[in-house]
Structure 1
Amino acid sequence: MHRIRWILILGWLILIASLFFDPITPPLTEPSNTLSPFKLDPNVCIKVQEVCLQEQPYPVGARIFWAAIVPCSIFILLVWGHEFWRRICPLSFVSQIPRTLGIQRRYKRVNPLTGKISYKSSKVKKNSWLARNYLYLQFSCFYLGLCTRLLFVNTTGWVLGSFLVLTIICAIAVGYLYDGKSWCNYFCPMSPVQKIYSEPRGLLTSAAHQTPNKTITQSMCRTVDSQGEEKSDCVACQTPCIDIDAERSYWTDISKPNRKLLYYSYIGLVFSFYFYYYLYAGNWDYYYFGAWTHEENLLNTLFKPGFYIFDTPIPIPKILAVPLTLGFFGLASYVIGLKLEKYYKNYLARKKIAIPKELIEHRMFTLCTFLVFNLFFVFGGRPTVRLLPISLQYLFNALIIFVSTMWLYRTWGRSPQIYLRESLAVRFPKKIRKLRLHNSWYLKVRSFNRIKK
């Protein structure tokens, strides 16, 4: 995994470098390059507010990043789960550089009894403002990131490259200031997205709660000793930790108000982000043909009309239209989510069906993830998918529906009680055996293995 992470981070750095200087890929977009799927078609007029874009050959780095890499990450989160993504995430990797180089910030600690001096690395305090409100902070950064992408980052290579470099610097800085995976758990703007698509578990995620005690599970921090064996390197920077047991973290925090804000408003943010391309250009060709990945002079459009509806420009500057659109739809979907949850509770009360509050919220969140995953892939990656043969496009659609349906089937029936019973089924028999009790009478001469089955 360490070598794989190095390969991925080097690939990411090459992509970032290509955003600043790329003499290789522009020929792939030349209209005369008949072998390239990225070639521009001079006979196609892509209109933005009824004006044809003047498309020129362009580097494909931004297009690959937005229309291929980002959709792949969403697919990975739902299928292989949080543990796989955290172990390959480039930002998670670079955030550990200060610890690996031994330059992480440490503070002096004096034992009041012995006077012995030791040096400890910093952790986010459990009762601090950050520990209580980190999800609000991350979600706010995610919202600002979406607005920044639509306004500045989408098409201009050096702006996108600078944005990614700044993000890397922030991850390294947090890794210097705090121990463990503090960047991932408390600061990363992608962390809320990871929670939505990977909790309570991915389609092929391992079950951490069904492993023996003292096992290195999922994506928990680890190191390799002199014998080449993995050992835990956890510093307890967050409890419960999503890297140790994602499902336990999910059930522990499911009733917190920030989870409803996250799940319900995320649907509106995803929808409005892609719908804004239509509201701005007045057609869907602007998005589906990928013209937004190489639009010339994007920064010059900031104070031009941000909406073009019914063939009429609306005199609201784009720099205001973007945050207003995303904020309105995000707030609207949050309110709708709360209303639907209330209706569901009233329906169960009328039917006299007693269901724990956590299970109701779990089912609502599960439906949100199922809907937003399919909604995302109505748009996400389509500028790349449309370049494939029509048969492969249908196969891609079938794959998305199949994967999301299987995930819904496996997740809908989960509950805190099932999780607890599965945990006890692994750990409780071992504790009984350690007591050396004569338990054959209680078990009716049955073995523990048979009881577990």
Structure 2
Amino acid sequence: AIFILLVFGHDLWRRICPLSFISQIPRSMGWERKRKRTAKSGKVRYELVKVDKNGWLAQNHFYLQFGLFFVGLCSRILFVNSNRLALGIFLVGTIIAALTVGFLYGGKTWCQYFCPMAPVQKVYAEPRALLNSTAHDGDRQPITQSMCRTVTPEGKELSACVACQSPCIDIDAERAYWDKITQPQQRWLYYGYVGIAVGYFVYYYLYAGNWDYYLSGAWAHEEGQLANLLKPGFYLFNTPVAIPKLVAVPFTLAAFTAGGYALGRTLENRYKAHQLRHHHPADSELVRHRVFSLCTFFIFNFFFIFAGNNFIQLLPVPLPGAFPILIATLSSLWLYRTWQRSPKTYQKEGLASRLRKQLKKLGLDLVKGLEGRSLDDLTADEVYVLAKILPDFSQEKRLQTYKEVLREAIDDGYVSPPNSRENFQQMRQELGISNEDHETILVELGQEHPELFDPTKRHSRENTLRLESYRESLLETILSAWHAHPEQAHIAELMKAFSENASHEVIEDILNDLSPEDRKMVRAIRQEYSITDEDETDALRHTEPGELWQAIADHIELRGFFGSGGDDELHQVFQQIDTDGSGYISLQELQTYIHAIDSKCTTAQVEAMLKQADTSGDNQISYEEFQAAFESMAPDNELRKYIKVGSEGNLLQVFQQIDTDGSGYISQSELQAYIQGIDSNFTATQVEAMLKQADTSGDNQVSYEEFQVVFQAIASRKS
């Protein structure tokens, strides 16, 4: 486990940890405890019970976990090591404890608040392992390896995060590390763990008076282990010391824990003084981080090279000789990588990741700036340099990008409005944004998103993820019910529920039209994510443009659009172009049809297309010529690009319905008119957000190609 944690990361270990799995059995079986809540309206709702963020357990869980770890080590030496019955009772008791906590509390409360091995995991897995990926660098991933998750009936994997702890090591281990590094319990964790780990193995020497007792494995086969509890617990200088083993064991471990803590604090102060003497800034967080890293490096090597050597010797030759070299090499690489980390580096990478995400949305020409590389391949510094040199990255777009990055960072709890000016200083310098611009943007955000500045709201990545996951699960459930029973849930109501003007009452009206089975499923989803009425309103208010496009896709029955086509559909397209019903397509008719799709297509191009299909030479296209030409054309043929059948033909018809002026582009007013025909409560702000998402070219309108990309992406997710 220790090797996996330091080399591969905690997320891999959490996926294979037996106790983590056992603690999640109640959730999988639907056995979690629920708390009854009664709203002012008198309506009763049941929510998952979570640890109170302001309660004793939330504030002191580390001391509880470290205390249980201490008791566990003492129990091993005193009762468990060579007594099978005691070992069985110990393991069964631990399993029952994990199951009980899994029943009493939602999420991964056992792992986060009770598990005695959690301190060990933090020491070896934070800030990050040697090989594991990072959560803050790159697009926000909805599901990490070790997060709580659930699977829909369709087999789609969704997050089941209930925000039981924030920041959460399962979502972003490094953020959890930096957020807590200045807290007093972190010193006890690292320095105390080194002391107790060393003390555990040293006690075997103090008990027997030599190392043979431990290295030979005699401690695992000691006769009458329980009978020795009151016998001398130390054997020093060939003389037994009249302190009972029952007292000697906890005394030794406590003394070494205190000694490790004192030594760690001394080392930390000496290192800080060294920095000051050499005129280096003595950043307390960085100093403590580096001393913590040295502690992890030391105890990892101590365990494998010395304490675990008796087990390593059991490996086949030549592994016993090679294994210590491997351990020293991997731990040295880990130390080198970890030594360079700092809160500022983490923050810079996190903001660069958000900037990278916004640059993708703008649809700028990045080819020249990237020189053949992908935007995701750039380092944090390179992302900032790219933002500086992009010719199309105007000041207006810079401010827009900065605003979105700031909004997302506040919503995730990454920064708060008061300290955002300091935290975003480097980004402002890189983007050429003044402090006055920052204050103006904060005012705009306060007007557009007042909930970001509400001190009673929980702003954290964990809570945002919880609401996002609930909204996605709820939308999936409603859409499934609508497809199964279209007469019970009208699309207008669905769109209204996911609009900014929606309220909790609106969604309740929709749910009342669902079948009892579907309503039961919705109640289960609410309980799974511990959703209150206020949470539900917040979740619906934060609907992303992509989800709104998703709803439109379902309105036009997108699944049916991706069919096989065929002669009948090709003939329908022919008749659509042949507007005078003559049975022939003229140059004028072909030009009118193509211009509705692409207004930039020239008359000369249309003439060339007609000539290619017109094998009879009469300057018009019969259906037979149309059919033969279409079937013989290569996929990249100019005419075939505009003749769409099957899925594309149906989608093109919808595009043309929205494009009422026939310009070949959907404007914001056209999109708004179409959507308000579905739901009059839809706001202009939402329509604008949808248009921006689809408009990758940045010309404030949606071409057919852009329209097609949006719906093909939705269809691929459905498949």
TM-score, length basis structure 2: 0.51
Alpha-carbon distance, 1:144 to partner: 1.1
With over 3 angstroms needed to count, the CA separation of the structure-2 counterparts of 1:432 and 1:396, relative to structure 1, is closer
Answer yes or no: is the 8 Å Cα contact 1:123–1:178 preserved in 2.
Answer: yes
Q: 1:230 aligns with which of 133, 146, 157?
A: 157
Corresponding residue number in structure 2 for 1:263: 190
Corresponding residue number in structure 2 for 1:443: 388
User: Does 1:360 find its partner at 2:287?
Assistant: yes
Deviates more, 1:354-363 or 1:386-395: 386-395
Between the aligned residues of both structures, percent identity stands at 55
Residues 290-331 of structure 1: CA deviation (Å, up to 9, x unaligned) = 111121111111111111111111111111111111111110
Alignment partners' CA distance in 2, 1:283 and 1:442: 65
User: Does 1:124 find its partner at 2:68?
Assistant: no
In structure 1, the residue corresponding to 2:46 is in which secondary structure?
strand
Deviates more, 1:294-303 or 1:382-391: 382-391
In structure 1, the residue corresponding to 2:139 is in which secondary structure?
coil
Alpha-carbon distance, 1:389 to partner: 4.9
User: Does 1:167 find its partner at 2:112?
Assistant: no
Alignment partners' CA distance in 1, 2:66 and 2:391: 51
Answer yes or no: is the 8 Å Cα contact 2:276–2:282 preserved in 1.
Answer: no
Alpha-carbon distance, 1:437 to partner: 9.3
In structure 2, the residue corresponding to 1:209 is in which secondary structure?
coil
Alpha-carbon distance, 1:211 to partner: 3.3
Deviates more, 1:343-352 or 1:184-193: 343-352
Corresponding residue number in structure 2 for 1:87: 15
Larger Cα-atom Rg? 2
Corresponding residue number in structure 2 for 1:407: 334
Q: 2:119 aligns with which of 182, 185, 192?
A: 192
Corresponding residue number in structure 2 for 1:240: 167
Alignment partners' CA distance in 2, 1:447 and 1:269: 59
Alpha-carbon distance, 1:215 to partner: 2.3
Alignment partners' CA distance in 2, 1:291 and 1:395: 26
In structure 1, the residue corresponding to 2:389 is in which secondary structure?
coil
Alpha-carbon distance, 1:433 to partner: 5.6
Corresponding residue number in structure 1 for 2:38: 110
With over 3 angstroms needed to count, the CA separation of the structure-2 counterparts of 1:433 and 1:84, relative to structure 1, is closer
Answer yes or no: is the 8 Å Cα contact 2:364–2:392 preserved in 1.
Answer: no
- The higher relative CO (CA closer than 8 Å, separation ≥ 6) is in 1
Which structure 1 residue ranges, 5 or more long, are not aligned?
Answer: 1-72
Alignment partners' CA distance in 1, 2:298 and 2:392: 44
Answer yes or no: is the 8 Å Cα contact 2:102–2:109 preserved in 1.
Answer: yes
Which structure 2 residue ranges, 5 or more long, are not aligned?
Answer: 370-385, 394-429, 431-719
Corresponding residue number in structure 2 for 1:332: 259
User: Does 1:305 find its partner at 2:305?
Assistant: no
Corresponding residue number in structure 2 for 1:4: none
Answer yes or no: is the 8 Å Cα contact 1:274–1:379 preserved in 2.
Answer: no
How many residue pairs were aligned? Answer: 377
Q: 1:285 aligns with which of 209, 212, 229?
A: 212
The correspondence of residues 49-60 of structure 1 with structure 2, limited to 5 A, is none
In structure 2, the residue corresponding to 1:313 is in which secondary structure?
strand
RMSD over aligned CA atoms reads: 2.2
Alignment partners' CA distance in 2, 1:216 and 1:183: 20
Alignment partners' CA distance in 2, 1:377 and 1:157: 26
Answer yes or no: is the 8 Å Cα contact 2:151–2:157 preserved in 1.
Answer: yes
Alpha-carbon distance, 1:429 to partner: 3.2
Aligned AA (2:229): L
Alignment partners' CA distance in 1, 2:87 and 2:343: 42
User: Does 1:77 find its partner at 2:16?
Assistant: no
Alpha-carbon distance, 1:110 to partner: 1.6
Deviates more, 1:341-350 or 1:429-438: 429-438
Alignment partners' CA distance in 2, 1:447 and 1:331: 60
Answer yes or no: is the 8 Å Cα contact 1:130–1:186 preserved in 2.
Answer: yes
Answer yes or no: is the 8 Å Cα contact 1:272–1:326 preserved in 2.
Answer: yes
Alpha-carbon distance, 1:445 to partner: 3.0
Alpha-carbon distance, 1:271 to partner: 0.9
In structure 2, the residue corresponding to 1:307 is in which secondary structure?
strand
Deviates more, 1:279-288 or 1:374-383: 374-383
With over 3 angstroms needed to count, the CA separation of the structure-2 counterparts of 1:180 and 1:442, relative to structure 1, is closer
In structure 1, the residue corresponding to 2:318 is in which secondary structure?
helix
Aligned AA (1:341): E
User: Does 1:373 find its partner at 2:318?
Assistant: no
In structure 2, the residue corresponding to 1:210 is in which secondary structure?
coil
Aligned AA (2:31): I
Alpha-carbon distance, 1:404 to partner: 0.8
Alignment partners' CA distance in 2, 1:317 and 1:204: 46
Corresponding residue number in structure 2 for 1:345: 272
Residues 67-104 of structure 1: CA deviation (Å, up to 9, x unaligned) = xxxxxx11111111111111111101111111111121
TM-score, length basis structure 1: 0.79
Structure 1 segments of 4+ aligned residues over 4 angstroms from their partners = 432-442
Aligned AA (2:95): I
Answer yes or no: is the 8 Å Cα contact 1:206–1:218 preserved in 2.
Answer: no
The correspondence of residues 416-431 of structure 1 with structure 2, limited to 5 A, is 416-431=343-358
Residues 262-282 of structure 1: CA deviation (Å, up to 9, x unaligned) = 111111111111011111111
Corresponding residue number in structure 2 for 1:249: 176
Answer yes or no: is the 8 Å Cα contact 2:108–2:164 preserved in 1.
Answer: yes
Alpha-carbon distance, 1:165 to partner: 0.5
